[in-house]
C-alpha cells in the first residue's frame, strides 16, 4: 500500500482465519521500523496508527487459537508513506546542488578576494617600480642639466667660428645636434614629472597656430622623403585661438614622431588641424598613419607610461616610453583629451581635442603681451640634418682611388646615418667605405662588392645584426670576412649571443675610436697572416694553425686537397675546382682573392711550388723529376717561379 504524506493516520481491521470460537482469539501486531515490540490487542480486531513518518514499513501479525496458543508471525502487508515534496529525493538532490553551488560561490568569492589583493599588491609594486624608475631618470636628468649646459654653450660658440676646417665643423655640428637631442629628452622627462605632481603651469597666448604647425611639420619632410612616405598636411587657413605654445609644440612633435616610427616605407601619414565651433571653441588635431596598427586589446594601454608596442618598426629615434603618456598629460593639463582608434594592418588615428577659447581658462593663465612665435631651437637642432648627408664618394673618384691606391674595403651596416657619418670620417682616409642601412642591404652589397671587413649594429630594421652575422658566417663564400658588432646592448647575454652568431669582435657603444681602429687593424692583419702561412713548407697540415674560423679552414682544406690530388695534372685549372666545390667562377675568384690576396690560378701555382719544395727536401728525386711531378711542363718557368717565391733556385733549395 502506498500512502501520501498526509495519509499517515490510518486504521487497520483484521480477522483470524478460523470459524471456531473466533471470538476467543487474541491478536498482536508490530509495524517494522515504527514499533519496538509487539502490541497485544487481545480480541480486538481494529487498531490505529498516527503520525507515521515517511518511509517503508512491514506490518506483522500473529494470533492465538481458541485454546490461547499463539501461532507464528505473518508478514501481512507492506506500507509505504510518501514524503512531502520538500523531503523527496528530487528535493534532496536539488538541495545538494544548491549546497555545492553555494560552496563554489564562497570559494570563488574568497579566490577573487585573494586575486584582487594580489593584483592590488602587484599594481602597487608596478607603480612603485614606475615611480622609482621615473625618480631615477629624473635625478639623472637633473644631473645632466649642468654638463649639457657646459657642452651646448661652448659648442654653440664654436659652431659660429669661421676658421675651422670642414671635418672639425662636421664634428662640432654632430656634437651640437646630439647634445640638443639629449637635452630634449631630459627636459621632456622633467616636464612629465612636473605634470604628474601638478607643478606644471599653463601659459597661454593668443596667436594663429598655422605658422608654428608648418614649422613643426617641415621637420619631418626629410624623413618622409627618405622612406618614400606620402606625407600630407591638411590645415585650415586660420587657426587663431589661445594656446600654450610649448605644450602644443610637444604634442604635435610627439604625435608626428610616433606616426613616423610606426609607418613602413611607402606608407601614408596625414596631419589634420582645424577649429571646431560647437558649444566650446576647440582645436582638433588628428594624425593618421598606415602600418601594422595597434591590437584592440592594447588600445587602452597606449597612454600608459613605458608602454611599448610589440611591433618593431624601422626607426627608434626619440623612443623613451613616455611619449604618448606625455601627450595625454599635456592634453589633460590644457583641459582637453586624446583618443585613439586603429585597424590592424591598415590605419591608426590619434585625435587630440583642446579648448582654445579665452573663456575656457583662468585669467592667471592668460598672457596678453604679443610676441613672434617660432619653433624651439632644441627641436630645430634635433631634426636638422638628423638623417645626415650622403657620405658616398662619386663612383668615378672611387674607381680612380682604387686604381692608384688599393684600400681595404669596410662595410658599415647601421640604421643611424649620423653613426655612418662618424665612422666614415674616422675610417675613410685609410679604408674604402661601403654603406648599408640594414642586413638585407648588406647582403646585396656583399654579392657585388669585394668586402674585407664588416662593422654592424645589432638593432636594425628588416634584418638585425645577429641574423646578418649568422648568414655571413654560415655561407662558404663569405664566412672568411671578419665581423665586428658595434651595439648599445652590452650585457653578457647579448655579448654571448653576438659571439655565438660568429662575430669576431663585440664592441659596446659608446666606444673609444682608437679601440675600434686597433680591432679593425688586428682582424685585417690576421687575414694577411694567412698568405704568409701559405708561403711556408706545408699545406693541408698547417691549415688548422691558420687564424681563420672553421668554415674558412674547411674551404681551404677542400681547395688544397683538390689541388694536391691532381698536382701532377699539368692542365689543372680553376674550372675543375669550381666544378668540385659547386661554386661559380666569380664566387671562387672573390673568395680566394679575399682570403689570400691572389687569384685561383696563383693559388694553384703556389700549392704546386710548395709541393715541389716538400719533394726537394723530403725525397731523392732530381729537380727535373720534381718539376714534372709538381705539374709543371716547362722547366725554365718552374725555375723562375720557384726563385720568386723562395728567393733561391730549386737546386740551391735542395
pLDDT tens sequence across 599-620: 778 788 888 888 888 888 777 7
Give the number of residues written for the chain: 654
pLDDT of residue 286: 93
Query: What is residue 596's predicted lDDT score, i.e. its pLDDT?
Result: 65
What's the rounded mean pLDDT across residues 636-641? 81
In the predicted structure, residue 165 carries a pLDDT above the cut 80? no
Phi, psi of 296 (to 5 degrees): -55, -40
Confidence of residue 397 (pLDDT cuts 50, 70, 90): very low
pLDDT, the chain, mean:
79
Q: What are phi and psi of 63, to 5 degrees?
A: -150, 165
pLDDT in tens, 220-253: 888 888 888 999 999 888 888 888 888 888 899 8
Confidence (pTM): 0.54
For the cut 70, the answer to whether the pLDDT of residue 594 exceeds it is: no
Q: Is residue 399 predicted with pLDDT exceeding 60?
A: no
Highest mean pLDDT among 66-75, 163-172, 443-452 belongs to 443-452
60 pairs with which residues across the strands? 30, 75
The label of the residue with cell 605658422 reads 211
Give, as one character, the DSSP assignment of residue 53: P
Cα–Cα distance measured from residue 639 to residue 625, given in angstroms and rounded to the nearest whole number: 13
Instruction: Give the alpha-carbon dihedral of 494, 495, 499, 500, to 10 degrees.
Output: -40
Cβ neighbors of 230 (< 8 A, separation 6 or more) are: 224, 266, 267, 268, 269
State the pLDDT at residue 117. 92
Residue of higher predicted confidence among 119 and 557: 119
User: CA–CA separation, 26 vs 66, rounded Å?
Assistant: 8
Q: What is the pLDDT of residue 382?
A: 64
597 touches 591 (CB < 8 A) = no
Other beta carbons within 10 Å of 418: 18
Q: Predicted confidence band at 322 (pLDDT cuts at 50, 70, 90)?
A: low
Alpha helices in 438-549 (DSSP H): 439-448, 465-473, 492-500, 513-533, 540-543
Across 432-464, b (16+ Cβ under 10 Å) vs e yields: bbbbbbbbbbbbebbeeeebbbbbbbbebbebb
* pLDDT confidence band for 537 (50 / 70 / 90): very low
Q: What is the mean pLDDT of residues 24-41?
A: 86
In this prediction, residue 550 has a pLDDT band, given cuts at 50, 70 and 90, of low
CA atoms of 537 and 13, how far apart (whole Å): 132
What pLDDT does residue 489 have?
A: 72
Of residues 553 and 488, the one with the higher pLDDT is 488
Is the predicted pLDDT of residue 255 greater than 70, yes or no?
A: yes
Confidence class for position 311, pLDDT limits 50, 70, 90 = very low
pLDDT tens digits for range 271-297: 999 988 777 788 999 999 998 888 888
CB 453 within 8 A of CB 478: no
Give, in order, the Cα–Cα distances in Å from 570 to each of 21, 563, 580, 604, 629.
148, 11, 18, 11, 9
Nearest residue to 339 (alpha-carbon basis) of 356, 348, 352: 352
Predicted confidence (pLDDT) at residue 169 exceeds the cutoff of 80: no
pLDDT at position 384 is: 54
**pLDDT at 111 (0 to 100):** 93
- Check residue 108 and give its pLDDT: 93
pLDDT at 545 over 70: no
pLDDT of residue 44: 83
pLDDT at 305: 59
Q: Is the peptide bond before 510 cis (omega within 30 degrees of 0)?
A: yes
Residue 104's pLDDT band (cuts 50, 70, 90)? very high
The candidate with the shortest Cα–Cα distance to 289, out of 321, 315, 261, is 261
* Conformation bin of residue 253: beta by default, left when phi > 0, alpha when psi is -120 to 50: alpha
Return the H-helix or E-strand segment holding 75: strand 74-81
Q: In this predicted structure, which of 147-156, 307-316, 562-571 has the lowest mean pLDDT?
A: 307-316
Residue 530, pLDDT score: 59
Q: Which three cell numbers stand for residue 365?
A: 593663465
Residue range 447-490, pLDDT digits in tens: 888 888 999 988 887 888 888 988 888 877 777 788 898 877 76
Amino acid at each position: 500500500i502506498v500512502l501520501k504524506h498526509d495519509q499517515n493516520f490510518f486504521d487497520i481491521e483484521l480477522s483470524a482465519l478460523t470459524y471456531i470460537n473466533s471470538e476467543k482469539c487474541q491478536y498482536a501486531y508490530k509495524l517494522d521500523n515504527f514499533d519496538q515490540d509487539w502490541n497485544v490487542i487481545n480480541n480486538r480486531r481494529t487498531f490505529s496508527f498516527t503520525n507515521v513518518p515517511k518511509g517503508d514499513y512491514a506490518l506483522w501479525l500473529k494470533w492465538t487459537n481458541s485454546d490461547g496458543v499463539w501461532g507464528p508471525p505473518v508478514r501481512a502487508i507492506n506500507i509505504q508513506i510518501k514524503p512531502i515534496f520538500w523531503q523527496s529525493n528530487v528535493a534532496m538532490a536539488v538541495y545538494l546542488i544548491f549546497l555545492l553551488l553555494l560552496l563554489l560561490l564562497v570559494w570563488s568569492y574568497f579566490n577573487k578576494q585573494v586575486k584582487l589583493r594580489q593584483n592590488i599588491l602587484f599594481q602597487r609594486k608596478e607603480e612603485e617600480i614606475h615611480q622609482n624608475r621615473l625618480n631615477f631618470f629624473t635625478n639623472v636628468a637633473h644631473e645632466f642639466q649642468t654638463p649639457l649646459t657646459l657642452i651646448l654653450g661652448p659648442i654653440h660658440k664654436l659652431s659660429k667660428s669661421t676658421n675651422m676646417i670642414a671635418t672639425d665643423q662636421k664634428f662640432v655640428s654632430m656634437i651640437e645636434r646630439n647634445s640638443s637631442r639629449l637635452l630634449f629628452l631630459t627636459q621632456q622627462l622633467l616636464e612629465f614629472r612636473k605634470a604628474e605632481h601638478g607643478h606644471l603651469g599653463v601659459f597661454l597666448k593668443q596667436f594663429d597656430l598655422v605658422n608654428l604647425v608648418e614649422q613643426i611639420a617641415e621637420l619631418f619632410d626629410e624623413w618622409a622623403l627618405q622612406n618614400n612616405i606620402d606625407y600630407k598636411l591638411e590645415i585650415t587657413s586660420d587657426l587663431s585661438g589661445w594656446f600654450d605654445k610649448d605644450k602644443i609644440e610637444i604634442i604635435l612633435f610627439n604625435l608626428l614622431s610616433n606616426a613616423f616610427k610606426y609607418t613602413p616605407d611607402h606608407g601614408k601619414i596625414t596631419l589634420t588641424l582645424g577649429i571646431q565651433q560647437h558649444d566650446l571653441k576647440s582645436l582638433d588635431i588628428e594624425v593618421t598613419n598606415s602600418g601594422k596598427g595597434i591590437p584592440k586589446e592594447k588600445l587602452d594601454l597606449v597612454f600608459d607610461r613605458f608602454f611599448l608596442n610589440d611591433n618593431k618598426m624601422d626607426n627608434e629615434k626619440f623612443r623613451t616610453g613616455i611619449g604618448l603618456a606625455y601627450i595625454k598629460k599635456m592634453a589633460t593639463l590644457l583641459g582637453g583629451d586624446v583618443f585613439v582608434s586603429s585597424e590592424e594592418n591598415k590605419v591608426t588615428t590619434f585625435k587630440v581635442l583642446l579648448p582654445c577659447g579665452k573663456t575656457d581658462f583662468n585669467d592667471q593663465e592668460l598672457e596678453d603681451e604679443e610676441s613672434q612665435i617660432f619653433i624651439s631651437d632644441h627641436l630645430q637642432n634635433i631634426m636638422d640634418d638628423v638623417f645626415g648627408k650622403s657620405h658616398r664618394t662619386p663612383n668615378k673618384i672611387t674607381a680612380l682611388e682604387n686604381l692608384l691606391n688599393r684600400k681595404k674595403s669596410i662595410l658599415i651596416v647601421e640604421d643611424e646615418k649620423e653613426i655612418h657619418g662618424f665612422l666614415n670620417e674616422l675610417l675613410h682616409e685609410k679604408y674604402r667605405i661601403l654603406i648599408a642601412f640594414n642586413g638585407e642591404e648588406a647582403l646585396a652589397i656583399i654579392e657585388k662588392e669585394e668586402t674585407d671587413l664588416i662593422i654592424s649594429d645589432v638593432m636594425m630594421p628588416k634584418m638585425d645584426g645577429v641574423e646578418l652575422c649568422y648568414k655571413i658566417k654560415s655561407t662558404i663564400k663569405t664566412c672568411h670576412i671578419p665581423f665586428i658588432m658595434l651595439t648599445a646592448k652590452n650585457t653578457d647575454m647579448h655579448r654571448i649571443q653576438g659571439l655565438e652568431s660568429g662575430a669576431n669582435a663585440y664592441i659596446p657603444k659608446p666606444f673609444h675610436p682608437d679601440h675600434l681602429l686597433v680591432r679593425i687593424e688586428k682582424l685585417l692583419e690576421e687575414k694577411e697572416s694567412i698568405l704568409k702561412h701559405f708561403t711556408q713548407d706545408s699545406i693541408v697540415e698547417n691549415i688548422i694553425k691558420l687564424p681563420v674560423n672553421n668554415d674558412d679552414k674547411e674551404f681551404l682544406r677542400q681547395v688544397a686537397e683538390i689541388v694536391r690530388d691532381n698536382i701532377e695534372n699539368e692542365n689543372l685549372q680553376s674550372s675543375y675546382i669550381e666544378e668540385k666545390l659547386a661554386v661559380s667562377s666569380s664566387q671562387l675568384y672573390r673568395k680566394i682573392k679575399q682570403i689570400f690576396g691572389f687569384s685561383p690560378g696563383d693559388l694553384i701555382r703556389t700549392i704546386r711550388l710548395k709541393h715541389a719544395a716538400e719533394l726537394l727536401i723530403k725525397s731523392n728525386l732530381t729537380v727535373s723529376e720534381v718539376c714534372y711531378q709538381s705539374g709543371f711542363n716547362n722547366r725554365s718557368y718552374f725555375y723562375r717561379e720557384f726563385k720568386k717565391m723562395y728567393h733561391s733556385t730549386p737546386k740551391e733549395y735542395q
